[in-house]
Amino acid sequence: MNRRLPGTLRNCSRLLHDATLTRFLSTTPKLFERQECQVLVVGGGTGGCAMAAKLSSRLGSNKVIVLEPEEKHYYQPMFTLIGGGMKRLEQSYRKMGDVLPKKARWIQESALNFDPDKNEVSTSGGKTIKYDFLVIATGMQLKYEKIPGLVEALEAPKTNVCSIYSPKYVDNVYGCLRNTYRGNAIFTFPHCPIKCAGAPQKIAYIAEHYFRKMSRRDNVNIIYNTSLPVIFGVKQYADALWKVAKKRNITVNLSRNLVEVRPQDSVAVFEDLAKPGERYEEGYSMLHVCPPMTAPDVIANCKPLVNEAGFVNVDQATLQHKKYSNVFAIGDSASTPNSKTAAAAAAQSPVVFKNLMATIKGRPGKEAYDGYASCPLVTGYSTCILAEFDYNLTPVETFPFDQAKERYSMFIMKKTFMPILYWELMMRGHWNGPATMRKVLSILKPKSKK
């Protein structure tokens, strides 16, 4: 057809055709691109990054792909300290590209669909990634929108409703403390599993200390409303925390679940889980909310991968998937019944690594995770109770002293040493939790405590 056109027109037509073809060719591969890797790590947070570092260092360059859409990697354990004005938000993150290991390939997209029968994950950018082994490390998703009125309250100015859990809102928490001079300061814990279950009360203790320092304490009631039937799951620390709450005149209400926020009236609505159907309203001058959380939809929607609650259905010791032996999970998205903390992910990381390497070699993975988690319960601007425990909720303490006591040393460890340990060791794949340190220090423990 071109041959019948005059010369100039013919050239124009070819140019147009070439341009269209070039555009088509440059976009098409992206839309239908196929990628392959030996190990795909979904999620570049605490567990994902630690695993990518370990695996890429052992397997070599370009064997590991990390699928992670975010630009920033936040050190979330710092968020309670930001809430108390002890750290700034800028100190809590680094660029994702600087944290992920250089030997792994980062695809800055999110997972859209898991197909474990085909060993494939499709992405938001139209890619299909085929893997030999899969590590799921997506964490949990925050569901502020599940509580009517809450998002509006968090986002409107001057409502004095805040939350340390999201990088979007954490910066405002200290502002809320500073704006509170009298009335009820209410702190909540939702009716579902959450990450860092100590944080909702840590921020209450920090707030109490703040109001005392500012000589406002006499005019502010501190109320901790938790959906749980206990103040803390481990008896030894629960006893210590009840003493802290009593000594500091903090009201603790158990089985109280936040169901609605009415920012126009500064009213929070709670249900009493011990008496179904009973609701009551409480006025606040400041409200700190820990949001409901769930496993990410993308995982929960892939039924063969998950348990009834939507978490990746892995063996609680080996962290290997119960049905797909080439799939592992680490951190908050796993179905394991441990407390969801960075320390738990640290202790899980050598187990996932060794069991995955064994599976690659065709052997069964024999490493077992004991459910270790640790929670530095910051109780103010200079004290901390360092809770450490396992699946049985038995204390598993690292240091040769009574960790249920509030201590300055543990506060400094949390505030100053943990961020260094996290960035310099854990993110490079060199921190497996404190088990080795515990064994060394056990020499110093009195016999009865060993």
Which residues of this chain interact with ligand UQ1, rule CB under 6 A?
77, 342-343, 346, 374, 376, 398, 418, 421-422, 426, 431, 433-434, 437
Nearer to ligand UQ1 by C-beta: 131 or 422?
A: 422
Shortest distance, position 78 Cβ to ligand UQ1, whole Å:
9
Rg (CA), the chain: 25
Nearer to ligand UQ1 by C-beta: 133 or 431?
A: 431
3-state secondary structure of 450: coil
Shortest distance, position 348 Cβ to ligand UQ1, whole Å:
11
Nearer to ligand UQ1 by C-beta: 112 or 441?
A: 441
Strand partners, 257: 271
CA atoms within 13 A on the CB side of 75: 26
Q: Which residues contact 385 (CB under 8 A, 6 or more apart)?
A: 237, 240, 241, 244, 376, 377, 379, 403, 404, 405, 406, 407, 410
3-state secondary structure of 270: strand
Shortest distance, position 147 Cβ to ligand UQ1, whole Å:
28
Contact by Cβ (8 Å): 40, 67: yes
Nearer to ligand UQ1 by C-beta: 244 or 385?
A: 385
- Active-site residue, 384 included: no
Nearer to ligand UQ1 by C-beta: 266 or 374?
A: 374
Which residue in the list 49, 176, 302, 375 is annotated as catalytic? 375
Nearer to ligand UQ1 by C-beta: 186 or 410?
A: 410
Shortest distance, position 445 Cβ to ligand UQ1, whole Å:
14
Contact by Cβ (8 Å): 314, 212: no
Rounded-to-integer distance, Cα 361 and Cα 38, Å: 13
Shortest distance, position 251 Cβ to ligand UQ1, whole Å:
28
Which residue in the list 196, 290, 302, 384 is annotated as catalytic? 196
- Active-site residue, 37 included: no
Angle at CA of residue 330, ends 327 and 336, nearest 5°: 95
Shortest distance, position 345 Cβ to ligand UQ1, whole Å:
7
Q: What are phi and psi of 392, to 5 degrees?
A: -80, 5
Burial (CB count <10 Å: 0-12, 13-18, 19+), residue 130: middle
User: Catalytic residue numbers?
Assistant: 196, 375
